Amino acid sequence: MPKTIIEPFRIKVVEPIELSTEEQRQQYLKEAHYNTFLLESGKVIIDLLTDSGTSAMSARQWGGIMQGDESYAGARSWLKMKAAITDLTGFEHILPTHQGRAAERILYAYLGGKGKYFLSNTHFDTTRANIEYTGATAIDCLTEVGKHPETEHPFKGNIAIDLLVENIQKYGPENIGAVILTVTNNSGGGQPVSMENAREVRQVCDKFGVLFILDACRIAENAYFIGQREEGYQDIAYKDIAREMCRLADGCIMSAKKDALVNMGGFLALKDKAIVDACTSMLIITEGFVTYGGLSGRDMEAIAIGLEEVFDPDYLNYRIVSTAYLGNKLTQMGIPIVKPVGGHAVYVDARAFYDHIPVEEFPGQALVADLYLKGGIRAVEIGSVMFGKYDGAGKLIPAPMDLVRLAIPRRVYTQSHIDYVVETFAELLDGKSSSKGFKITYEPEFLRHFTAHFTRL
Ligand SMILES: *Cc1c(COP(=O)(O)O)cnc(C)c1O
């Protein structure tokens, strides 16, 4: 049997890609103030901005959409979605939201506030923003190995248990809003978290009486890694691995735009009735009635089907292997990436790649701009633009790493698209030393990377 791992699907509907020239892209990027979030998508050739909400849905999901029940209360589609989530998470109380951050806002507004602390392997940007917006503090407790892009380790997404305990004791268990374990660790390189680590988090949370929330956006991809890498999980179905992890937590948040294989949606799933009741009021005020939250019936139908499809072993194998394909090609060319390759994206170490650009001039943003100019490829900076802060004197406190994420939409691009990305990198490698950094000319107070303006130095 041939060894090539193929895309385990046929293409039934196509969306044309408009090609452009480098001169045109110079103009487009200038008009977007050098922020690729501000580009029109039609001006992008390969869009690796995010894997969020960009999945191709299956024929079965599209069929489900026609069967969406749009009843205000008690819709059939809601019951299907609820059953699928309860089957996965084991939680009975499910609050549907229009996307992950709505679930975050509802939960962390209740658990947060001034004087509260949240501890996570790495807070995703919307997670951190929702926590800080309430006046609470978000502290990342990533393991030391997770901070070194070059170091190989099977579970670089793990939370550092010693830091976790230290912080709980320092701030007092009563002041900890929650421990949030993000699987896979998106901001930390899409790296997986082991079951053993999740079990240890459970023990620490039990010991101190602290709430354990799982950010389950990519729990299927995380389960694949556990199945491949963790002792004792080789013969267990991916879905059962995911189930086991969910059952360690007190609740979970999920953006369905990731591993539920849909374009919009999310939910909050909880064990504790008191928290559910508080969150339900906020859900009704800001999202919608309890049986649809922020979703249409058709969305809920597609989520129920997507949560099933994502655990198909052939799909997960293709998914993880095809992401690694890009990473391995870049590594062979000598381009520094976060290793090992994570589940949904390849993270290029832009600080190392553009080592002539000082951190204050955002080497990650420079690489993002150059990928677009050279190949029409849209990527995203995950570094000092996204997470940098200023000290009292207005000097940049850089993020620990300046990465550029090449996120792979699920079931969307074929191998030749990815080969084109690899070729673009080869061209950038040739002209590497002439690339210039950036200066921020406009930034909002929260989540500045989405709307900031830049000028090239
Ligand atoms: C995407 C994401 C979120 C937020 O979800 P949205 O649907 O984009 O609002 C939260 N946590 C993680 C880890 C994510 O990847």
Judgement on whether residues 214 and 301 belong to the same structural domain of the protein: yes
Last residue of a domain, one of 255, 284, 309: 309
pLDDT tier, 387 (very low <50, low <70, confident <90, very high otherwise): confident
Q: How far apart are CA 328 and CA 313, in angstroms?
A: 22
3-state SS of the chain?
A: CCCCCCCCCCCCCCCCCCCCCHHHHHHHHHHCCCCHHHCCHHHCCEECCCCCCCCCCCHHHHHHHHCCCCCCCCCHHHHHHHHHHHHHHCCCEEEEECCHHHHHHHHHHHHCCCCCEEEECCCCHHHHHHHHHCCCEEEECECHHHHCCCCCCCCCCCECHHHHHHHHHHHCHHHEEEEEEECCECCCCCECCCHHHHHHHHHHHHHHCCCEEEECCCHHHHHHHHHHHCCCCCCCCHHHHHHHHHCCCCEEEEECCCCCCCCCCEEEEECCHHHHHHHHHHHHHHCCCCCCCCCCHHHHHHHHHHHHHCCCHHHHHHHHHHHHHHHHHHHHCCCCECCCCCCCEEEEEHHHHCCCCCHHHCHHHHHHHHHHHHHCEECEEECHHHHCEECCCCCEECCCCCEEEEECCCCCCCHHHHHHHHHHHHHHHHCHHHCCCEEEEECCCCCHHHCCEEEEC
> What is the per-residue burial (b if ≥16 Cβ within 10 Å, else e) of 89-107?
bbbebbbbbbbbbbbbbbb
Predicted pLDDT of residue 440: 92
**Average pLDDT of the segment spanning 91-112:** 97
Judgement on whether residues 249 and 166 belong to the same structural domain of the protein: yes
Judgement on whether residues 361 and 251 belong to the same structural domain of the protein: no
Distance from the alpha carbon of residue 451 to the mean position of ligand 1, in angstroms: 18
Predicted pLDDT of residue 11: 94
Q: List the CATH number of the domain containing 304.
A: 3.40.640.10
> What is the per-residue burial (b if ≥16 Cβ within 10 Å, else e) of 238-260?
bbebbbbbbebbbbbbbbbbbbb
Judgement on whether residues 71 and 103 belong to the same structural domain of the protein: yes
* Atom from ligand 1 closest to the CA of residue 102: 9
Predicted pLDDT of residue 1: 84
Q: With contact defined as beta carbons under 8 Å apart, do 91 and 252 qualify?
A: yes
% of residues, the chain, pLDDT over 90: 90
User: Measuring from atom 5 of ligand 1, which residue has the nearest CA?
Assistant: 100
Whole-number Cα distances in Å, 442 to 111, 364, 385, 437:
32, 18, 12, 16
pLDDT digits (tens, 9 = 90+) for 393-408: 888 899 888 999 999 9
Is residue 15 in a domain?
no
Predicted pLDDT of residue 132: 96
Is residue 144 in a domain?
yes
User: Measuring from atom 8 of ligand 1, which residue has the nearest CA?
Assistant: 100
pLDDT digits (tens, 9 = 90+) for 342-364: 999 999 999 999 999 999 999 99
Is residue 16 in a domain?
no
Predicted pLDDT of residue 189: 75
Is residue 2 in a domain?
no
Judgement on whether residues 378 and 269 belong to the same structural domain of the protein: no
Judgement on whether residues 231 and 129 belong to the same structural domain of the protein: yes
Distance from the alpha carbon of residue 325 to the mean position of ligand 1, in angstroms: 25
Is residue 11 in a domain?
no
User: Measuring from atom 10 of ligand 1, which residue has the nearest CA?
Assistant: 100
pLDDT digits (tens, 9 = 90+) for 409-429: 999 999 999 999 999 999 999
Judgement on whether residues 414 and 277 belong to the same structural domain of the protein: no
Judgement on whether residues 246 and 147 belong to the same structural domain of the protein: yes
Which tokens hold the place of 435?
């690339």
Predicted pLDDT of residue 443: 87
Is residue 300 in a domain?
yes
pLDDT digits (tens, 9 = 90+) for 254-304: 999 999 999 999 999 999 999 999 999 999 999 999 999 999 999 999 999
Is residue 6 in a domain?
no
Predicted pLDDT of residue 448: 84
Distance from the alpha carbon of residue 3 to the mean position of ligand 1, in angstroms: 34
Q: List the CATH number of the domain containing 393.
A: 3.90.1150.10
pLDDT tier, 59 (very low <50, low <70, confident <90, very high otherwise): very high
Q: How many domains does the chain have?
A: 2
Distance from the alpha carbon of residue 217 to the mean position of ligand 1, in angstroms: 7
128 exposure class (CB count in 10 Å sphere: 0-12, 13-18, 19+): buried
Is residue 441 in a domain?
yes
Whether pLDDT at 390 is above 90: no
Predicted pLDDT of residue 405: 95
* Atom from ligand 1 closest to the CA of residue 185: 13
**Average pLDDT of the segment spanning 81-97:** 97
Judgement on whether residues 383 and 288 belong to the same structural domain of the protein: no
C-alpha torsion sign, points 259, 262, 264, 265: negative
Pocket test for ligand 1, best of 126, 131, 142 (most atoms within 8 A of CB): 126
Predicted pLDDT of residue 394: 83
* Atom from ligand 1 closest to the CA of residue 256: 7
Last residue of a domain, one of 309, 340, 358: 309
Last residue of a domain, one of 293, 309, 325: 309
**What residues flank ligand 1, with Cβ below 6 Å?**
52, 99-101, 124, 126-127, 182, 186, 215, 217, 255, 257-258, 266
Distance from the alpha carbon of residue 100 to the mean position of ligand 1, in angstroms: 5
Judgement on whether residues 303 and 425 belong to the same structural domain of the protein: no
Judgement on whether residues 396 and 407 belong to the same structural domain of the protein: yes
pLDDT digits (tens, 9 = 90+) for 133-190: 999 999 999 999 988 888 899 999 999 999 999 999 999 999 999 999 999 998 777 8
Whether pLDDT at 446 is above 80: no
Predicted pLDDT of residue 183: 97
Residue of 168, 202, 225 whose CA lies nearest to 342: 225
Candidate from 2-11, 220-229, 403-412 with smallest mean pLDDT: 2-11
pTM: 0.94
Distance from the alpha carbon of residue 262 to the mean position of ligand 1, in angstroms: 13
Distance from the alpha carbon of residue 126 to the mean position of ligand 1, in angstroms: 7
Q: How far apart are CA 341 and CA 332, in angstroms?
A: 13
Q: Which residue type, as a one-letter code, is found at position 239?
A: K
pLDDT digits (tens, 9 = 90+) for 200-219: 999 999 999 999 999 999 99
Q: State the residue range of the domain holding 401.
A: 22-51+312-456
Judgement on whether residues 89 and 192 belong to the same structural domain of the protein: yes
Distance from the alpha carbon of residue 253 to the mean position of ligand 1, in angstroms: 9
